[in-house]
Amino acid sequence: MICSRIVDETHLVEKKNKYLVDTNILIYLYGDSRLVTETPKLKGLSAKFNQALNIGCDVYIPAIVISEFINKYHRLEWNNIKKRIGRKNYDYKRDYRNSTDFIKNNKFIMETLKTTILSRCKMIEDKFTVDNKDILFNVNEGQDFNDVLIINIANKNGLYLISADMDSQKIVIK
């Protein structure tokens, strides 16, 4: 099965609905705008996310999305610094992770998560257990494990998935 409830441009946001937000929406809204490429789909789905929050819908975020948000934000910043300083050999772990830029960015990311994102979204258990290992470890060629996990969480909890990730529409969970 594919994600049973995925938000698209025709989706009507209603207070009774419950949602799970994906990383790309959070990066677009709360990341550094210099580092994110805006698309009409991303802009429209971000508006649906904000609408859900504004009318009081329950919006959930699993730990995997928080982890992706932190890592993606840092990777975007690292790439930006690499371009700015013109050093192709500027290593993520050796150079960036040991820099004052990393410390400054990490402080900002954590503060954004705590005061902005987690103050508006509820954390949800991923229920990553033996019961669903066959689903999660199924061979899904070309499909991202994190996307499979996120879709599984949405499906198990009857949540609408707000994601601009095209991969999430292709994943088949057997």
Domain ranges of the chain: 18-169
Residue-by-residue pLDDT tens, the chain, 174 positions: 467 788 988 999 999 999 999 999 999 999 866 656 778 888 999 999 999 999 999 999 999 999 999 999 999 999 999 999 998 899 999 999 999 999 999 999 999 999 999 999 999 987 666 556 666 666 555 667 788 888 888 988 999 999 987 554 544 444
| CATH placement of domain 18-169 | 3.40.50.1010
pLDDT of residue 3: 75
Please state the three-class secondary structure of the chain as a single string. CCCCCECCCCCCCCCCCEEEECHHHHHHHHCCHHHCCCCHHHHHHHHHHHHHHHCCCEEEEEHHHHHHHHHHHHHHHHHHHHHHHCCCCCCHHHHHCCCHHHHHHHHHHHHHHHHHHCCCCEEECCCCCHHHHHHHCCCCCCCCHHHHHHHHHHHHHCCEEECCCHHHHCCCCC
pTM, to two decimals: 0.86
